[in-house]
Structure 1
Amino acid sequence: MAQLEPVLTLTIPSVHDWTVLDCRVFHPSILGDADPGADDEWKGQAAVFAHPYAPLGGSFDDGVVEAVVRELLGAGYVVATFNFRGAGNSAGKTSWTARPERGDYTSVVGFLVHYVHGLTLDPDENDNGHEASQEDCARLLHGTRHDEIWSPVLLMGGYSYGAMVTAQLPPLATMLLHFTAPAAGTAAAEVRLRAEHASREQRRRGGRRERKRSF
């Protein structure tokens, strides 16, 4: 079985306290398909999947995490995995309350939502002129664009400890408030900036499929 290769390997800060987190983003093959006549279209699906308990060896290299990522990629999802604080090369240490880890997870969700939003822009479109507002994110995630092809979904999940943290997350709308017009110099602003930069670079490399745009 071929090894999974992320299209992005980067760090982002946790909105809880700026702890630096390892993050990976994987694209489904449909986003790299160079055949303009292909029948399939990327529908905007994205997912975040979290790993087991770090003190027991959990990280984004966990075998179950990899298996889930493979399934999601096969279903056409852009997938983000990450190391909670204290896991892998992420800074910090595992908390007793999981509250900091909820902030870690929130950062990855914010990154992925704005990254996916950026992938939907035209290759020559400037992010600065088309920032993802809360309304944009709602349209992106709930599929309110009048487009039969565009049916976006955001999945949030995890295995073992990762599942426990996922179950404790606030509603998605609450999580995304961190990234709606964040103040300069905050961790949320940095997360959003890195997402916009990463998606812009992917568009320049052709790392997205053209699709019909109907708003």
Structure 2
Amino acid sequence: MQPWCVGISTLLLSALLPWPGAGEFRVLGPGAPVIASVGKEAVLPCHLSPETDAEGMEVTWFQMDPPALVHHYAASKDHLEDQSPQYRGRTEFLKENINTGQVALRIHPILPSDDAEYRCYIASPTFENEAEFKLLVTALGTAPKIHIEPGGNGEMKLTCTSRGWYPEPELQWRNLQGQQYLSPVSETKTGAENGLFHVQTSVTVDTRSRNVSCIIRNPVLSEEKEAHVSLAGQCPPVSAS
């Protein structure tokens, strides 16, 4: 291809791509959901493109559903008089790099109720733009425990319990080979006052079964905790991992 052909192609491509005009900008948030653990902190970053000094701009974070004002910054200072009550005392505006258009909001400590869609809104005297992103809140619960109740007809009822999960975890019984075991005869997932889930699942098994495991899995982190028992002969103490 001739050099002048390359130049024309580049010019045409540039003309087709949207680009902010004078004084205009785009607000860009994180490229993937922000994941934060209950009790820890989350940092929600936003930045301007092209790189623009945001010192004199208005910067606001909103929770979208349910709607809530998370943090508001304008005229080079925080304005928290209208901040939603659930965020009071838990937000910090990070502006170390505000002169290059990079801002962020720290939320600490993270609560289950923070799991939501968020909007980062930035406005100059002549232009405004915003970005939306997701905050995924997560918590790993306690190691599960299995309670054994002998039954009739060569059967036993196993009940597995654990506390402190978020979001609602996945429950499963597996055999020695790691294959999914019998469907549970009962399963409950109860939300506690702190927003975390307490879970209980029961299954009836034949005493001729050997090893049975209760698996509780966090769907956000893809991490799981397990308890297992051996039903061969007399049941030894339950172990958990």
Structures share fold, TM-score greater than 0.5: no
Greater Cα radius of gyration, structure 1 or 2: 2
In terms of fraction of residues, the more strand-rich structure is 2
Coarse TM-score class (shorter-chain normalised): under 0.3
Q: TM-score by structure 2 length?
A: 0.24
In terms of fraction of residues, the more helix-rich structure is 1
